[in-house]
Amino acid sequence: MIAIKNGKIVTPTEIIEGKILLLEQDRIKGFVDSLENLEDVERVVNAHGRFIMPGFIDVHSDRIEQYIQPRPTSQVDFEFGLRICERDMLGAGITTIYHSISLFGDDSFGSSPLRTKESVQKLANLIAGIHLKNHLIHHRFHLRIEIDNLEAYGITREMIEQDKVHQISFMNHTPGQGQYKSIEAYKETVTKYNGKYDGKDISSFNAEELLQYHIKKPKLPFRKLKELAMLAHEKGIPVASHDDDTIEKLEENQKIGVDISEFPISIETALAAKEKGFYTVVGSANILRGSSHSGNLSAAEAVLKDCADIICSDYYPAAILYSIFHMNKKYGVTLPEMVNKATLNPAKAMRIEKDYGSIEIGKKADLMIVDIFDDDPAITHVFVDGVAVSRIEYRR
């Protein structure tokens, strides 16, 4: 049994001081006032007044792509990339990660060898098998389905039936709606990627041609999206939508069977999503930046208006921890409330709250100890399944 003393224990509702946290094997055993008469304590960890928090559950992270393909012409071994990735996730306090892997059908952003059927299936197999080998954190697979990829229907069905998927999401990057409501903003984004669109210089397209191209291309019909959502739910897999921008789209997603609204475009849409019972997801980097990198919803505003249930890393893992303390320090949002958005709320959305997401007796001992150095939060200890997998001490 491991005892962690002298810490500020962040629970879903309060911060507890003066208690000793006990871990037994991979679970939280309980809270005690003293170690006296406890003969089976094998190790005592002194938290030195630091915060003891649950490990983060990151429901949307595409960071794995950057570890496997750090440059467009440079690709490393998939398993090597995953192992380097999990070390960095651990340093960011992420103990459960849903790797968000895209199944694209259109290479408007430049063709990516990681978004092909073969690479997606290879990653899914790797993530499914990594837990049979030495590993540090819990890996999960979040399959992102671009709805203009007609082949994605069969691929997704097969992967769900094989228990290779832990979350699916439907995406539509058509300009004129969603993330790219402004066609000019879409053209600017595409230019930044590769300077070309559909094999031609982007300047050769006018806005109307660009819009018509995307409107006319075939997309997965409502019936097939609903079938995939139903199959996912039969397996206990949550279903998300991406970049909701209207109430009508939310209502359509409800009919499909969507549970989660990722990155709603506006405060109005986020409020409507919350009212309709969706879990709402925002990016932690957005909180630190003060706005979306696409010029859309301010995640900090969404938190303050109580329409942001979950914060995820999206593309910047370290931002989760910093955004929690940023919202606490700058806006006065309580630490338990902010921590819940990165732990308990995502656990509920992913349907794993019975075992994960909070410091409660009987739950998995996925924990971290966090100190404040020079006004910034820093992780000094991480436990996964009750195992001390990381320790860092800062020096002057």
Q: What is the pLDDT of residue 394?
A: 87
**How many Å apart are CA 156 and CA 147, to the nearest integer?**
12
User: What is the chain's mean pLDDT, rounded?
Assistant: 89
Q: Is residue 276 part of a domain?
A: yes
CA separation, residue 77 to residues 80, 111, 126, 261, 275 (Å): 5, 19, 11, 33, 44
Domain count for the chain: 2
Are residues 225 and 327 both part of a single domain?
A: yes
Are residues 387 and 309 both part of a single domain?
A: no
Q: List residues bridging with 28 in a β-sheet.
A: 23
Q: Is residue 72 part of a domain?
A: yes
pLDDT digits (tens, 9 = 90+) for 208-265: 665 666 667 788 999 999 999 999 999 999 999 999 999 999 999 999 999 999 999 9
Q: Is residue 274 part of a domain?
A: yes
| CATH at residue 371 | 2.30.40.10
Q: What is the pLDDT of residue 237?
A: 98
- Give the pTM: 0.90
Q: Is residue 213 part of a domain?
A: no
Are residues 61 and 84 both part of a single domain?
A: yes
Are residues 78 and 15 both part of a single domain?
A: no
Q: Is residue 178 part of a domain?
A: no
Nearest in space to 27 (alpha carbons), one of 361, 390, 351, 344: 361
**How many Å apart are CA 121 and CA 98, to the nearest integer?**
15
Nearest in space to 91 (alpha carbons), one of 320, 310, 286: 320
Are residues 110 and 132 both part of a single domain?
A: yes
Are residues 337 and 367 both part of a single domain?
A: no
Range of the domain at 76: 56-172+219-349
pLDDT digits (tens, 9 = 90+) for 36-58: 888 899 999 999 999 999 999 99
Q: Is residue 28 part of a domain?
A: yes
Q: What is the pLDDT of residue 174?
A: 61
Tokens matching residue 88: 């960095």
CA separation, residue 9 to residues 226, 330, 358, 390 (Å): 42, 22, 10, 19
Q: What is the pLDDT of residue 395?
A: 85
Are residues 313 and 333 both part of a single domain?
A: yes
Q: What is the pLDDT of residue 196?
A: 42
Q: What is the pLDDT of residue 109?
A: 46
| 79 pLDDT tier (thresholds 50, 70, 90) | very high
Q: What is the pLDDT of residue 71?
A: 87
Q: Is residue 199 part of a domain?
A: no
Nearest in space to 214 (alpha carbons), one of 241, 248, 183, 259: 183
| CATH at residue 71 | 3.20.20.140
Are residues 229 and 129 both part of a single domain?
A: yes
Q: What is the pLDDT of residue 217?
A: 79
Are residues 377 and 249 both part of a single domain?
A: no
Are residues 12 and 124 both part of a single domain?
A: no
Tokens matching residue 25: 């094997």
pLDDT surpasses 80 at 200: no
Are residues 62 and 164 both part of a single domain?
A: yes
Q: Is residue 236 part of a domain?
A: yes
> Does residue 121 contact residue 155 with C-beta atoms inside 8 Å?
yes
Q: Among 136-145, 167-176, 372-381, where is mean pLDDT lowest? A: 167-176
Question: Which residue bears the tokens 């309980």?
Answer: 30
Are residues 146 and 289 both part of a single domain?
A: yes
> Does residue 381 contact residue 370 with C-beta atoms inside 8 Å?
no
pLDDT surpasses 50 at 341: yes
